[in-house]
Amino acid sequence: MKKIFIATLFSLVIFSAKATVHVVLVGQNGLTFSPSVLNVFVGDTIRFKWVNGFHTTTSVNIPSSAETWDVNITSSKTEYDYIVKTEGEYAYECSPHVGAGMVGSFTATQSVTGISDQYATIKESVQINPNPAADQTMLTFNSNIAFKGSLRIYNNNGNMISEEKLKVGKGENSININTSSLKSGLYYVNLLNKEDAFLVMKMIRQ
């Protein structure tokens, strides 16, 4: 049994069984997109999530056959999903703050058979029990591959509050999660392989 003690609790898992949702926090540390660089597969979703300020996400240099976008990301419109349908290099900016260096990019490639779905078993089998919990809970899932990754915890303002290295084994995995030191409220968890999140979850602590 693998144990990682992290102050958090999972209440809702957000994912697609055949694609990854990559969360980009907008305005997390001032005038930034975070992360500002991503590697994705065609079919994945880039989810721009507002943290602070008034910003846009605006495509500037993208593949000729790809759909452009220009969307305000504000306290009244907090999320925008862009589904990647064309491989190639994508660059985007915040129009009001491009002069301050608020830019981002991602590279999209066609997935090799089985690569984009290599975490599908985790996504389909993940369970949290008990949920909700006061002091601790257990995350369990099956994986058809072994890999090294990490578990990052963000608060509702988009600030990362913890990161733990993770070794996932092939087969059944159980992670004991200590929530006793976490204040009541809403949090977000990113489960990453190396640098890219393939599972994004909301978390509630009683």
Q: C-alpha distances in angstroms, 179 versus 137, 138, 158?
A: 7, 10, 19
Domains of the chain: 21-110 (2.60.40.420), 127-205 (2.60.40.2550)
Q: How confident is the model at residue 1 (pLDDT cuts 50, 70, 90)?
A: very low
Report yes or no: 141 and 1 within 8 Å, Cβ to Cβ: no
pLDDT above 70 (res 14): no
Q: Which two tokens stand for residue 3?
A: 């144990």
Percent of the chain with pLDDT over 70: 79
**Is residue 4 pLDDT above 70, yes or no?**
no
| CA pair distance 132, 203, nearest whole angstrom | 9
Per residue in 181-192, pLDDT (tens digit) is 888 877 777 777
Q: Are 39 and 87 in contact (CB under 8 A)?
A: no
Q: Is 138 labeled as ligand-binding?
A: no
Binding residue per annotation — 22?
Answer: no
Q: What is the Cα Rg of the chain in Å?
A: 17
Which pLDDT tens digit goes with each residue over 50-99?
999 999 999 999 999 999 999 999 999 999 999 999 989 999 999 999 99
DSSP conformational letter for 173: E
Mean pLDDT, rounded, for 92-120:
80
pLDDT score at 17 = 38
d(CA 65, CA 74): 28
pLDDT at 23 over 80: yes
